[in-house]
């Protein structure tokens, strides 16, 4: 059998080109939900494999006192022994042992970083939303034209969902002027799907990843791809209640009327290019609908997703 | 909306409409249709000040209140956040459609008229 460190390293390294490939692929548009599951598994699998690779390099797997308790257990054993030696009067560690400890430290640091950014990103998002809700409760009002939604009196066209335990759907006065009754209903159906299925939670880990590695193109691509897929998921929900044409004209009108984005910097520009083509891709998909993935293809995607999480987790935790 | 939220909103409306700073009693007197206790108005103004929506300064024994920013400024803040233009890109909201360029919009409209694929039109 291959040594765990090789398996973990090839998963961690191989997932980077795989993410680029998945971001460019067209099949996810046929079954957005399956593709989102795969993206989640790739994210989780990459984290586990990257942490595990460093831990396996640090854990002295060849030595006689191998714990036989998986990479994580062995790494902890090595750490415990190092601490014991440090407290006692053992001679200073050799170069190889020092390098091992360095790998273990890097592994622990990566685990701490990934956990921290997830917590920090969630906190930032929750704070932003709380402020937004407070402002809405002071400023927004209901309108019989858009039942169940809040209206903000601003001429720019905007329609969005503020997710939460009690999600809010908000439409600007500009959007109400811009869209006819049928288009408004399509927009509401789309936003209700976001609110009901909490698509924001699906996107959150990718937002966190982008914050942790702002210079990383794969992290940017993964975020943009998942953001587009949840829009497609909501489009599909809207289609169950409204004809495609209403949704398409609403998309084009709101997209063309939205003011241009301002965030500066090369990555922000790259992000904007992706979101710009996003509306086009969605329209294209709505006008020429394709069949969802076949059952065997769905099974393949689910199997790959499961393997990406189970294999690194098993190498970390089980005595293999 | 709950009663407290509704009161906060009514009191902010009073502050936004006023040209000058107002005492608690003046705010209460402009909400005549509600018949609010003085302490209720004081509590809500205190909450608004703590949330940062109202500013206050002491004038002798009374507090003088005003809105921290104009209604328009807050509406603009809401919209900038909604359109993801604040620069933090925190994805706190899910926007229906992002900006498309004029060229893209033209291509998309043509595709819609022909009912076909915009990539091929």
Per-residue pLDDT of chain A (320 residues; tens, 9 = 90+): 678 889 999 999 999 999 999 999 999 999 999 999 999 999 999 999 999 999 988 886 655 445 567 788 888 888 888 777 777 766 666 788 888 888 999 999 999 999 998 899 888 888 888 899 999 999 999 999 898 899 999 888 888 898 888 888 999 998 999 999 999 999 999 999 999 999 988 988 888 888 778 888 888 889 889 989 999 999 999 999 889 999 999 988 888 776 554 333 223 333 344 445 588 889 889 988 888 899 999 999 999 999 999 999 999 888 76
* Angular region, B43: left φ>0, alpha ψ -120 to 50, beta rest: alpha
Q: Which residues contact B24 (CB under 8 A, 6 or more apart)?
A: B38, B41, B42, B45, B62, B63, B65
How many Å separate Cα A37 from the centre of its chain?
10
Judge contact between B21 and B64, C-beta under 8 A. Answer: yes
pLDDT at A27: 94
- Asked which of B49, B67, B85 is the last residue of a domain, the reply is B67
Same domain, B7 and B55: yes
Give tens-digit pLDDT for A13-47: 999 999 999 999 999 999 999 999 999 999 999 99
Residue B88 in any domain: the answer is yes
Sheet with A168-172, strands from edge to edge, namely A150-152, A168-172, A159-162, B94-95
For residue B47, the chain A residue with the least C-alpha distance is A134
Structure tokens at A262: 């301002």
pTM, rounded to two decimals: 0.83
pLDDT at A320: 66
pLDDT at B116: 53
ipTM for the whole complex: 0.82
Number of domains in chain B: 2
Same domain, B58 and B7: yes
B67 to chain A, minimum CA–CA distance in Å? 12
- Asked which of B67, B84, B101 is the last residue of a domain, the reply is B67
Residue B77 in any domain: the answer is yes
Structure tokens at A306: 């499961």
Residues of A in contact with B99 (CB under 8 A): 255, 258-261, 272, 275-276
Same domain, B20 and B48: yes
Same domain, B63 and B8: yes
Residue B49 in any domain: the answer is yes
Residue B120 in any domain: the answer is no
Per-residue CA distances from B102 to A258, B106, B108 (Å): 11, 6, 10
Residue B119 in any domain: the answer is no
What is the pLDDT averaged over residues B69-81? 89
pLDDT at A136: 93
Same domain, B60 and B94: no
Residue B31 in any domain: the answer is yes
pLDDT at B121: 39
Same domain, B52 and B88: no
Domain extent for B94? 71-114
pLDDT at A303: 97
Q: How many CB pairs under 8 A join A and B?
A: 170
The residue length of chain B stands at 121
Q: What's the CA gap between A129 and A127, in Å, rounded? A: 5
The CA-based angle A117-A199-B75, given to 5 degrees, is 85
Per-residue CA distances from A1 to A5, A54, A270, A320 (Å): 11, 20, 42, 10
Helix (H/G/I), strand (E/B), else coil: B31 = coil
Is A128's CB within 8 Å of B78's CB? no
Judge contact between A159 and A179, C-beta under 8 A. Answer: no
pLDDT at B14: 94
What is the pLDDT averaged over residues B46-61? 92
Residue B121 in any domain: the answer is no
Same domain, B46 and B90: no
Residue B34 in any domain: the answer is yes
B15 to chain A, minimum CA–CA distance in Å? 12
Same domain, B60 and B75: no
Same domain, B106 and B77: yes
Same domain, B63 and B22: yes
Which residue reads 């293809």 in tokens?
A297
Q: What's the CA gap between B11 and B66, in Å, rounded? A: 10
A159 to chain B, minimum CA–CA distance in Å? 5
B32 has a chain A CB within 8 A of its CB: no
Q: What's the CA gap between A127 and B68, in Å, rounded? A: 19
Same domain, B42 and B20: yes
For residue A262, the chain B residue with the least C-alpha distance is B85
pLDDT at A77: 82
CATH of the domain at B63: 1.10.10.10
Q: What single string gives the DSSP state of each residue in A11-35?
A: HHHHHHHHHHHHHH-SGGGT-HHHH
Residues of B in contact with A259 (CB under 8 A): 83, 85, 99
Same domain, B20 and B56: yes
pLDDT at A64: 42
């Amino acid at each position: 059998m291959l040594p765990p460190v090789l398996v973990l390293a090839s998963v961690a390294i191989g997932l980077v080109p795989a993410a680029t490939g998945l971001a460019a692929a067209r099949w996810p548009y046929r079954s957005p939900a399956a593709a989102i599951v795969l993206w989640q598994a790739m994210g989780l699998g990459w984290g586990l494999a990257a942490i595990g690779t460093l831990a396996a390099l640090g854990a002295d797997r060849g030595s006689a006192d191998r714990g036989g308790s998986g990479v994580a257990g062995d790494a902890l054993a090595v750490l415990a022994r190092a601490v014991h030696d440090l407290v006692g009067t053992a001679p200073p560690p050799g170069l190889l042992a020092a390098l091992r400890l360095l790998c273990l430290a890097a592994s622990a640091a990566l685990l701490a970083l990934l956990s921290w950014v997830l917590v920090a990103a969630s906190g930032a998002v929750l704070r932003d939303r709380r402020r937004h809700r407070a402002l809405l409760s002071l400023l927004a009002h209901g309108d019989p034209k858009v039942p169940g939604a809040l209206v903000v009196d601003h001429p720019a066209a905007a329609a969005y969902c503020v997710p939460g335990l009690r999600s809010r759907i908000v439409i600007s006065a500009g959007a109400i002027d811009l869209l006819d009754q049928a288009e408004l209903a399509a927009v509401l159906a789309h936003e209700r799907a976001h609110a009901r299925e909490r698509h924001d939670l699906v996107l959150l880990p990718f937002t966190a990843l982008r914050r942790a590695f702002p210079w990383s193109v794969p992290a940017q691509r993964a975020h943009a791809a998942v953001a587009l897929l949840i829009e497609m998921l909501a489009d599909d929900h809207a289609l169950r209640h409204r004809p495609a044409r209403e949704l398409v004209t609403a998309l084009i009108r709101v997209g063309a009327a939205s003011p241009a984005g301002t965030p500066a910097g090369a990555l922000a520009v790259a992000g904007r290019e992706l979101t710009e083509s996003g509306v086009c891709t969605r329209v294209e998909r709505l006008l020429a609908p394709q069949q969802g993935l076949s059952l065997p293809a769905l099974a393949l995607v689910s199997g790959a997703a499961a393997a990406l999480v189970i294999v690194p987790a098993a190498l970390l935790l089980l005595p293999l | 909306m709950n009663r407290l939220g509704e009161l906060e909103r009514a009191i902010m409306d009073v502050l936004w409409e006023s040209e000058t700073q107002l005492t608690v009693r003046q705010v209460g007197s402009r909400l005549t249709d509600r018949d609010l206790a003085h302490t209720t108005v004081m509590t809500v103004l205190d909450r608004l000040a703590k949330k940062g929506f109202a500013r206050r300064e002491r004038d002798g024994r009374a507090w003088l209140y005003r809105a921290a920013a104009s209604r328009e400024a807050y509406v603009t803040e809401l919209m900038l956040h909604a359109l993801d233009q604040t620069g933090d890109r925190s994805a706190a909201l899910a926007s229906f459609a992002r900006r498309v360029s004029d060229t893209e919009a033209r291509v998309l409209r043509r595709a819609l008229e022909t009912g076909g694929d915009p990539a091929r039109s």
